[in-house]
Amino acid sequence: MASATLVGRDPTRPDAVITAVQGGAGSWAVAGLCLAATGPAAARWLRVAQREHYLAGSATRFAARWWRSGACAGVMAVAACAGLVAAFWWVPAAVVPGAAAALGPPGLAVRGRTSPLAWTRRLRTLSGVWLVLALVVAFVGVLVGQPAPMAAAGALLVPATVDLACAATAPIERRLAARFVARAALRLRRVAPTVVAITGSFGKTSTKSYVAHLMGASRAVVASPASFNNRAGLARAVNEHLADGTEIFVAEMGTYGPGEIAELCSWLPPDVAVITAVGPVHLERFGSEDLVLRAKQEIFERAPVAVLAVDDDRLAQLADRIAAEGRRVWRCSAVDLAADVSVVPDGGGSTVRIGGAPLARGAGGHAQPTNVACAVAVALHLGIERAVLAERLATLPAVAHRLEVTRGSSGALVLDDTYNSNPAGARAGLARLVGVAPPGGRTVVVTPGMVELGRRQVPENAAFAGAAAQQVSHLVVVGRTNRRALLRGARRAGPGSAEIVVVPTRQDAVSWVRRNVGPGDAVLYENDLPDHYP
Q: Are residues 43 and 136 in the same domain?
A: yes
- The predicted pLDDT at position 1 comes to 40
* DSSP code, position 88: T
* DSSP code, position 297: G
Cα separation, 411 vs 519, in Å, equals 4
Q: Which DSSP helix (H) or strand (E) runs through 41?
A: helix 24-51
DSSP letters, 351-418, are EEEETTEEEEE---TTS-HHHHHHHHHHHHHTT--HHHHHHHHTTPPPPTTSSEEEE-TTS-EEEEET
Which backbone phi and psi does 474 adopt, to 5 degrees?
Answer: -140, 135
Residue 468, domain extent: 404-526
Is 267 domain-assigned?
A: yes
CATH number at residue 244: 3.40.1190.10
Predicted TM-score (pTM) of the model is 0.86
Last residue of one domain, picked from the residues 393, 413, 441: 393
Q: Are residues 376 and 442 in the same domain?
A: no
Would you say 55 and 166 are in contact if contact means Cβ atoms under 8 Å apart? yes
* Residue 124 CB neighbour total at 10 angstroms: 9
Q: Are residues 133 and 217 in the same domain?
A: no
Q: Which DSSP helix (H) or strand (E) runs through 522?
A: strand 522-526
Q: Are residues 153 and 220 in the same domain?
A: no
- The predicted pLDDT at position 12 comes to 46
- For residue 72, give the amino acid letter: C
Is 5 domain-assigned?
A: no
Is 186 domain-assigned?
A: no
Query: Cα(first)–Cα(last) distance of the chain, in Å?
Result: 42
Q: What is the pLDDT of residues 375-386, one digit of tens each?
A: 999 999 999 999
Is 232 domain-assigned?
A: yes
- The predicted pLDDT at position 365 comes to 56
Q: Are residues 26 and 110 in the same domain?
A: yes
Would you say 147 and 98 are in contact if contact means Cβ atoms under 8 Å apart? no
Among 387, 389, 320, 380, which residue's Cα sits nearest to residue 355? 380
Is 152 domain-assigned?
A: yes
Q: What is the pLDDT of residues 314-359, one digit of tens each?
A: 999 999 999 999 999 999 999 999 999 999 887 667 899 999 999 8
Q: Are residues 343 and 411 in the same domain?
A: no
Cα separation, 270 vs 259, in Å, equals 16
Last residue of one domain, picked from the residues 341, 360, 393: 393
Is 485 domain-assigned?
A: yes
Count of structural domains within the chain: 3
CATH number at residue 482: 3.90.190.20
Burial of 165 from C-beta contacts in 10 A (0-12 / 13-18 / 19+): buried
Q: Are residues 292 and 246 in the same domain?
A: yes
DSSP letters, 188-211, are HHHH-PEEEEEE-SS-HHHHHHHH
Last residue of one domain, picked from the residues 171, 205, 239: 171
Low-confidence ranges of the chain (pLDDT < 70): 1-24, 347-348, 362-366
Is 181 domain-assigned?
A: no
Is 374 domain-assigned?
A: yes
> Strand, helix or coil at 342?
strand
- The predicted pLDDT at position 2 comes to 40
Q: Are residues 86 and 138 in the same domain?
A: yes
Cα separation, 140 vs 151, in Å, equals 9
Would you say 309 and 278 are in contact if contact means Cβ atoms under 8 Å apart? no
Q: What is the pLDDT of residues 223-238, one digit of tens each?
A: 999 778 999 999 999 9
DSSP letters, 400-463, are TTSSEEEE-TTS-EEEEETT--SHHHHHHHHHHHHHHSPTTS-EEEEE----S-GGGHHHHHHH
Q: Are residues 293 and 377 in the same domain?
A: yes
Would you say 183 and 366 are in contact if contact means Cβ atoms under 8 Å apart? no
Would you say 473 and 499 are in contact if contact means Cβ atoms under 8 Å apart? yes
Cα separation, 496 vs 290, in Å, equals 39
Cα separation, 521 vs 438, in Å, equals 7
- Polymer length in residues for the chain: 534
Triad 364, 367, 369: Cα angle to 5°: 100
Q: Are residues 208 and 329 in the same domain?
A: yes
* Residue 503 CB neighbour total at 10 angstroms: 18
Q: Are residues 365 and 469 in the same domain?
A: no
Q: Are residues 247 and 104 in the same domain?
A: no
